[in-house]
Amino acid sequence: MMLHKIAAAFATLLLISGAASAQGAKPNDAQIAHIAYTAGLADIANAKLALRKSKNKDVRAFAHDMERDHKAVNDKALALVKKLKVTPQDNPTSKAIAKGQADERAKLSKLKGKAFDKAYIDNEVAYHKTVDNALQSTLIPSANNDELKSLLETGLKIFQGHLEHAEHVAAEFK
Amino acid sequence: MRAGFVVTAAVAALSIWGSTLARAATIQVTIDKVAYNPVNISARVGDTIVWSNKDIVAHTATNRDKSWDFTIFPNKTAKVTLKKAGEIDYYCKFHPNMKGHISVKP
C-alpha cells in the first residue's frame, strides 16, 4: 500500500518534469499557469470531499484551510493571466494531475471514518510533496514572466506550509 | 508665584505623560510572502504588537503557550499588548513554516 503510494507520487513527479523534456523545451507561461491552476483545483476538490465525509476536527480544519488558500491563490493566478492577456493552455502535465487526483478521490470516496481520514491526509502529504517538488525543480525555473514567477514562489511557500500542516495531522493517525 | 507653580506642575505632568508614551511603543509586524517581518522583536511590557497581513492568504499569529491566537485575513490587522516579561514563540497554524519570536523585557 505504502510502496504503491510512493510509486504513484513518483509517477506524477516524473510526468510533471517529463512533460517539459518530452517537448524538448521548458513549459511556457501559459502551460505553467494551467498546471498550477489545475493543481489548486484538484486540492479544492479533495478538500470538499473531506468536508463531506470527515468528522475529525483536525482533518476538517485542514480541509477548510486547503479550500480557502487554494481558492485565494487560484483567484490571484486568474487575475494575473487576465492582466497579462495569457490564455492558460491545457497540456499533458495538467491532464495527469487532474486524472491522478480524480483517481485518488474515487478510492477515497469508498472509505469511511478513520480509514478515510488517514488516507485523505496521507494523499495530501504525498500530493503537496509532489507539487512542491515540481514548482521548485521545473515550474518556477521555467517561468518567464516575473509576476508569474513571484506568484509561484509565494505559492510554493504557502504549499510548503500546507505540507508541514498535513504532516502534523498525519502524525495523529500513526 | 502661583502661576509659576501651575506651569511647573503642568510641565511635570506633561513629562510623565510623555515618558509613558515613549515607553509604551507600538511595534509593527508586516506579514508578506508567508513570513513575519521582522521575525525577531525586542519589546517591553506594555508595548503593543500590530500584525498587518499584506499577503494573498489568511494567516494566524498563534502563541505556542496558547495565551493568544489571532486569525488575520488579507488586508486586516490584529494586535496584542504584552502583559509580562519573557520569551514568546509564535507561529501560523495554517502554515507552520512561519515562525516569529518576541523577547519581552520588564
B35 contacts in A (CB within 8 Å)?
157
pLDDT band at A174 (very low <50, low <70, confident <90, very high): confident
Contact A161 B56 (CB under 8 A): no
Burial of A114 (0-12, 13-18, 19+ CB in 10 A): middle
Q: What is the pLDDT of residues A12-28, one digit of tens each?
A: 555 555 554 444 568 99
Taking the CA of residue A165 and the nearest CA in chain B, the distance in Å comes to 6
Looking at residue A7, what is its pLDDT? 40
* Beta carbons of B31 and B53 less than 8 angstroms apart: yes
Looking at residue A108, what is its pLDDT? 98
A57 contacts in B (CB within 8 Å)?
none
Assigned C-alpha cell, A129: 510533496
More confident residue, A173 or A5: A173
Which H or E run includes B63? strand B59-63
**Mean pLDDT value across residues A132-156:** 97
Q: CA-to-CA distance for B38 and B35, rounded, in angstroms? A: 9
Q: What is the pLDDT of residues A102-121, one digit of tens each?
A: 999 999 999 999 999 999 99
Domains of chain A: 2-171 (1.20.1260.10)
Q: What is the pLDDT of residues B23-82, one digit of tens each?
A: 689 999 999 999 999 999 999 999 999 999 999 999 999 999 999 999 999 999 999 999
Assigned C-alpha cell, B46: 506594555
Domains of chain B: 25-105 (2.60.40.420)
Instruction: Point out which residues pair with B52 in neighbouring strands.
Output: B30, B77
